[in-house]
Every structure is written in C-alpha cells, then in structure tokens.
Amino acid sequence: MSLSPEEVERYARHIVLHGVGGPGQQKLKAARVLSIGAGGLGSPFIQYLAAAGVGTIGIVDDDTVSLSNLQRQVLHGTPDIGRMKTDSAADAAARINPHVNIVKHPFRLDAAGAPALLAQYDVIGDGSDNFETRYIVSDACFHARRPLITAAVGEFDGSITTLRPFETGKDGKPNPTYRCLFPEAPPAGSIPACAQAGILGALTGIAGAMMALEVIREIVGFGESLVGRILLMDTRSMRFETMSYAWDPQNPLNGEGADPA
C-alpha cells in the first residue's frame, strides 16, 4: 500500500527510523485495529494509533462523555459532554490524521457479538474497565486468532501484556492465554471501581500509549513483544517491572483438556 507525498512527510520520523521505515509505515496504513473502549486507556491509545497512521481504527463504546471523564479521558473535551464517546473519539482522531478511517461501534460488546466484530480487525487493544469484558474479548481473540494487547489501571498502578495464545512459543508449548494469567475474575466488589477508588489521570496516558506501542510493534514486527510477560507499573515510586508467566495446561482454551473446536 503506497504512501502519498503528504503521508511521506507526515510519517517522516517513522520512515527514517530503523526497524520501521517505509515498509513498516505501509504495514501500518494497511492495518485494521480495534479499540475496546474510548475512555481513559482508549483515549491515548486511539490518539497514537491515529498519529502513527494506522489505516483503519474501530472504536467500541456504548457510553457518553461526562464531566468526570475529562480528568483522564483526553480524547474528549468539555464541549463533548453528553455526546457518544464513539462520535467524540472519531472527530478527535480525524483532527489528528485525516488519512485514517474511523469505524464507530456505539454499543456494548457482548459474547454473542464479539466473534463477528473481532474478525474484521487484525489486532485488538482492550482498554475496558471490567473483567467480564476482558474475558469476553480475550476468549474471542483466541478463537479468531487475533493478537490482543490488554491493559488495566487502578488508582496508581497499571499493567499491560500481549496475548497470542493461538501460537506456540519457542519452548514448543502454547503461548499463555489471559486465563493462564487470571484463571478467574476476582469476587464481585473485591476491587473498587474507579468512581469509588479514584484513578491518577496521567497513569492512563502512560498505559494507553504503551498499548499503542505494543500494537505498532505487532504490526511492524520490531523488537520483543510482551507475549508471556506482563509489565507492572507503580507510579507511587515510579517502579516498572516485567514478570514472566507461562501456559497453564489446565486453562480451558488451549489447555490439555480443551475442546479443539
């Protein structure tokens, strides 16, 4: 997929970057990426995907912009209060880069609709704020054979990992699933919601930008991804640690007793 003269100038710092270059930028232009959510994580995620020149960006969100969102959801502004986040996000992304095609999905993703939607995209970024959606997305990505970058934040802490459980690692074992990392959701009410516990606004910017970086890496193919590793962030002490995790043979997706269908 060729780049116009305007795009060559726009993406000049990518094109001269060893590991990306013109071929990598063309891969970005041809790619289709889906953002689960247009909130705290989705905002910087979508912004950097648009700026990077990802050709098609899908946005799933059923919520409207509220005043309390604006402390961290930087894709939206005060005039957007009351608008659907998909509309506000699409307008903001278009202002960043008119060469990007934005597809709006203004509904709540559920298990029934996830497979068909995810199949339309090459890479998925999950910035949702609840475990139910994370399990739905991760399971559907496994069956659709789509790479998934998933992040989570709470108060001052964050995490991000990349999942490709439909492939085999260097050790000959399947790559781990989300259920290898979190076999079960925590009990209801054990983790306070953002409205009760609060969230440091700038933390969502860090984590969302890292999601975009991981997606760009998956598309272009440089460096070492976070498959089998989870990056943990503690912004109280500005400590970043990467921990490895492995395939659990008991997991229901690609474990030893999993249904191959």
Spans of all domains in the chain: 21-184+191-244
pLDDT in tens, 109-118: 999 999 999 9
CATH architecture assigned to 21-184+191-244 = 3-Layer(aba) Sandwich (3.40)
pLDDT in tens, 123-161: 999 999 889 999 999 999 999 999 999 999 989 999 999
Q: Which amino acid would we find at residue 176? A: P
Q: Which residue has the tokens 């960043």?
A: 96
The predicted model scores a pTM of 0.94
Residues that are catalytic: 194
The two three-digit tokens of residue 164, written as one number: 């490709």
Average pLDDT over every residue of 225-247: 96
**Average pLDDT of the residues of the chain:** 94
